[in-house]
Amino acid sequence: MNAGMRILLLFDNNGAEYVSRIRESVTRTGRSSGFQVVSENLFSSGRQVADVIADDTIAGVILTPPLSDDRHVLGLIEERKLPYVRIAPMLDLSRGCTVIMDEYDAARAITDYLLQRGHRRIGFVRGPNVHLVSMRRYNGYANAIGGKGLRIDHALVAQGDFSRQSGREQAAALFAAKPTAIFASNDEMAAGIIDAAVASGISVPDDISLVGFDDNAVAKTIRPGLTTVRQPLEEMGEMACKLVAERVIHPARGARHEQIPFQIVERASVIEAVARAA
């Protein structure tokens, strides 16, 4: 394998499974295309982007959130004249190649899923503000609520950080606001809410229905199994790797923009609101 045929996959993320799902997909796709993939998670390494991309063997870069929207980082990569692909950007969508899933529509759809089952007091746990996707998911939730002629009750909105611990920490205030359902904007926070519910003698879904976002392993293993949005991270990683490899081999080709569809995965964490009143 040519030492100069290396793709750099950049993260700044504390979500171990999010990182793993994308990294494994990109690594597998890169290998089949004749590229070695090297990954760097700035969240844990503490390194500066300028130092990471200074490696002359790097032929192209894949950026993940929140780096996908970091204009300083984009500028540094462009100065090096490296081809790059952005996974799930929210800003400057015409800049470079992009691979997206419609976060807004996915959040609206999973909220509609609860509304269609009779839920009206639906809590929401936001992700960290540094991730612009957190606002997109909140806006999708708010749009679905407003579409039913309902107002957002701010007592039902909590601020998390995408960690399981933050779900545990925010649960008590949400439980006190008497929701019939909660939408946690990732699966880890949803798992934390289940932890807190068990500790408080609250049943999911008999007392409170719950949905998440990502379809990570915890959604499948926790009890009850978590109804969630499947974020197609593997497919997004595969497409991002194919696009950056294409740009390395054919640098004159124009930017491409690909959208990968989401899916709602139904498990056991949601029941009809009317069933709760029976």
4-19: pLDDT as tens digits: 589 999 999 888 899 9
Terminal C-alpha separation, the chain: 65
Please state whether the predicted TM-score (pTM) of the whole model is above 0.85: yes
Task: Answer yes or no: is pLDDT of 104 > 50.
Answer: yes
pLDDT value, residue 2: 46
Task: Report the alpha-carbon distance of residue 210 to residue 188 in Å, rounded.
Answer: 12
16 CB contacts (<8 Å, ≥6 apart)?
none
Structure tokens at 130: 């540094």
- What's the number of CA atoms in the CB half-sphere (13 Å) around residue 9? 27
Instruction: Give the 3-state secondary structure of residue 98.
Output: strand
Q: Where are the domains of the chain?
A: 6-101+232-261, 103-230
- How far does CA 97 lie from the centroid of its chain? 19
Peptide bond into 205 cis (omega under 30): yes
Residue 100's nearest CA partner among 9, 253, 235, 263 is 235
pLDDT of residue 4: 58
Mean pLDDT across the chain, nearest whole number? 95
CB atoms within 10 A of CB 196: 18
Give dist(CA 111, CA 109) in Å, integer. Answer: 5
Q: What is the pLDDT of residues 26-84, one digit of tens each?
A: 999 999 999 999 999 999 999 999 999 999 999 999 999 999 999 999 999 999 999 99
User: Averaged over 156-174, what is the pLDDT?
Assistant: 97
Say what angle helices 16-32 and 233-249 make with each other, to 10 degrees. Answer: 40
Q: Regarding the domain delimited by 6-101+232-261, which CATH topology (the fold level of the hierarchy) does it fall under?
A: Rossmann fold (3.40.50)
Q: What are the pLDDT digits (tens) for 188-197?
A: 999 999 999 9
Give dist(CA 41, CA 7) in Å, integer.
14
- Output the six-digit token pair for 164: 């399981």
Per DSSP, helices labelled H in 116-258 are: 132-147, 164-176, 187-200, 217-221, 233-249
Closest to 264 (Cα-Cα) out of 220, 203, 214: 214
Task: Tell me the average pLDDT across 199-226.
Answer: 97
| Main-chain phi, psi angles of 231, to 5 degrees | -85, 120
Q: What is the DSSP letter of 95?
A: S
Phi, psi of 132 (to 5 degrees): -60, -25
- Identical fold between 6-101+232-261 and 103-230: yes
Structural fold of domain 103-230: Rossmann fold (3.40.50)
Does pLDDT of 106 surpass 60? Answer: yes
